[in-house]
Amino acid sequence: MSAPLPSSLGDARRALSLSTAAFTVCFAVWTIFSIIGLQIKDQLALSDTQFGLLVGMPILTGSSVRIVLGIATDRIGGRAVYTLTMLAAAFATFLLSWATTYSQMLLAALGVGLAGGSFAVGVAYVSRFFDGTRQGTALGIFGVGNVGAAVTKFAAPFVMIAFGWQATAQIWAGVLALTALAFWMLSKEDPVTAARRGAHAPLRSLRAEFAPLRNLRVWRFSAYYVFSFGAFVALALWLPHYLIGVYGFDVKTAGLIGAAYSIPASIFRAYGGVLSDRIGARSVMYATFLVSLAATGILALLPGLPVGGFLAVIFALGFAMSLGKAAVYKHIPTYYPQNVGAVGGLVGMIGGLGGFVLPLLFGLLRDTTGSWASCFGLLFLLVAACTLWMHLSIRRTRMTPQAA
């Protein structure tokens, strides 16, 4: 990707607001199985491992396609790629409502997951409208679209109980399709793509697009994102099931609490972007990992916490993750301004794959150990490994305060 070209403040704000709104709807669709999966689990008598696989399948697709969609955005522009991605995901979500067997639902869930790939498109598209001093804030605001998980957890239980999980899938599909059409009609081409088309400039080679992926730093950023984003997605999917199993809540209450967890964990991502611009992403990442170490350690070692204590700790964990998500993506346009799509796509892909693998591991650990707290023990080990890798890398390379 080329460095951002000058754009009017109005164009930049329009691109950011439309992309954030679209990503919110995409994320709501991407996490739909966290709610409708509960009814499907009872309908098909699924084990916890099977349930973990079902809710994780959209995460697998949405993560795997991010690098492809990111590069496509760099090459042909985000306006077209964003619109087509949303339409394809809406079609798959509508088809899901006709699935009747577990195998059919797994297959449909792969298509639903295309909604999650929109993140890589939005990052590459939005970053082209802002210069380096504002990219952290802009991408942090865009990432607030994670609040779509809260929208699903708040609204879907009521729709599902009233009309069934099939109708819920159809309604979510319809909203996503309308969002795609609105985005296409209201958005503008980003300045880099518009300038390239006006000058009839040739596209860069695929070798040049993929070249930065050989850098170990990119993979280290990806590891950070496995925790800050992948674990957030995993908990967003797993939390309603956890609350029902541990505290005996009904699906409506569990959904509301899950929404309450997802909202601040998403909204404060914007604050994480602002902090990353002001004090440096390294400081933000240290704060994220240290708070997360404490929170996951408490939840793993004290499984009998009263519900109030549990919620206080899980909310603190979500807040720390929200800051870390923004800090990771602050680095990408700074270090790789010509390859935001490819690098952002890879980081998003690896982090999203964490969101696929972790719910599956949560279910497997629950089935094999019988402990609900085992999921937090796994997260503690993950964040400890990320903290150690970051600290050793910073000491070895003596990075500036703006790097991590």
Average pLDDT over residues 178-196: 90
Choose the weakest-confidence range: 1-5, 23-27, 117-121.
Answer: 1-5
Choose the weakest-confidence range: 27-41, 103-117, 330-344.
Answer: 330-344
Q: Which residue has the higher pLDDT, 60 or 83?
A: 83
pLDDT > 70? residue 132: no
Average pLDDT over residues 159-179: 96
Choose the weakest-confidence range: 208-212, 250-254, 370-374.
Answer: 208-212
For 153-190, b/e burial (b = at least 16 CB within 10 A) is: bbbbbebbeeeebbebbbbbbebbbebbebbbeebebb
Average pLDDT over residues 2-18: 74
Sign of CA dihedral 292, 63, 118, 209: positive
Q: Please, which pLDDT band fits residue 111 given cuts at 50, 70 and 90?
A: very high
Tell me the residue length of the chain. Answer: 404
At the second CATH level, the architecture of 9-397 is Up-down Bundle (1.20)
> Interior CA angle at 13 toward 9 and 14, to 5°?
115
Can you give the pLDDT at residue 1?
41
Q: Which residues are CB-contacts of 179 (< 8 A; sequence separation ≥ 6)?
A: 21, 22, 25, 26, 86
* Distance (Å, whole) CA 389 – CA 396: 11
Q: Please, which pLDDT band fits residue 101 given cuts at 50, 70 and 90?
A: very high
Can you give the pLDDT at residue 210?
66
In one-letter notation, the amino acid at residue 386 is: C
pLDDT > 70? residue 267: yes
31 closest CA partner among 150, 118, 184, 131:
150
Can you give the pLDDT at residue 112?
95
Q: Which two tokens stand for residue 132?
A: 């380096």
Can you give the pLDDT at residue 2?
43
Average pLDDT over residues 298-306: 92
Q: Which residue has the tokens 């009872």?
A: 42
Can you give the pLDDT at residue 402?
47
86 closest CA partner among 60, 59, 119, 63:
119
Q: Which residue has the higher pLDDT, 360 or 106?
A: 106
Contact between residue 130 and residue 4 where contact means Cβ atoms under 8 Å apart: yes
DSSP state of 370: -
Contact between residue 267 and residue 321 where contact means Cβ atoms under 8 Å apart: no
Most confident of 124-128, 253-257, 289-293: 289-293
Which bin fits 86, alpha (ψ -120 to 50), beta or left (φ > 0)?
alpha
Contact between residue 135 and residue 127 where contact means Cβ atoms under 8 Å apart: yes
Q: Which residue has the higher pLDDT, 12 or 402?
A: 12
Q: Where does residue 70 rank: exposed (0-12), middle (13-18), buried (19+ CB within 10 A)?
A: buried
Residue ranges of domains in the chain: 9-397
Average pLDDT over residues 194-205: 67
Q: Please, which pLDDT band fits residue 178 given cuts at 50, 70 and 90?
A: very high
Can you give the pLDDT at residue 89?
96
* Mean pLDDT computed over every residue of the chain: 87
Q: Please, which pLDDT band fits residue 331 given cuts at 50, 70 and 90?
A: confident
Can you give the pLDDT at residue 200?
59
Can you give the pLDDT at residue 395?
83
Neighbours of 218 (CB within 10 A): 21
Which bin fits 370, alpha (ψ -120 to 50), beta or left (φ > 0)?
left
Tell me phi and psi for residue 238, to 5 degrees: -85, -25
Can you give the pLDDT at residue 377?
96
> Interior CA angle at 117 toward 112 and 118, to 5°?
105
Q: Please, which pLDDT band fits residue 403 given cuts at 50, 70 and 90?
A: very low
Contact between residue 253 and residue 51 where contact means Cβ atoms under 8 Å apart: no
Which bin fits 257, alpha (ψ -120 to 50), beta or left (φ > 0)?
alpha
**% of the chain at pLDDT higher than 90:** 47
pLDDT tens digits, one per residue of 344-359: 778 888 888 888 889 8
Average pLDDT over residues 76-99: 94
132 closest CA partner among 279, 335, 328:
335
* Distance (Å, whole) CA 85 – CA 97: 19
pLDDT tens digits, one per residue of 19-72: 999 999 999 999 899 889 989 999 999 888 888 788 888 988 888 888 889 888
Q: Please, which pLDDT band fits residue 7 given cuts at 50, 70 and 90?
A: low
Q: Where does residue 295 rank: exposed (0-12), middle (13-18), buried (19+ CB within 10 A)?
A: buried
* Distance (Å, whole) CA 152 – CA 114: 17
14 closest CA partner among 274, 189, 146, 192:
189
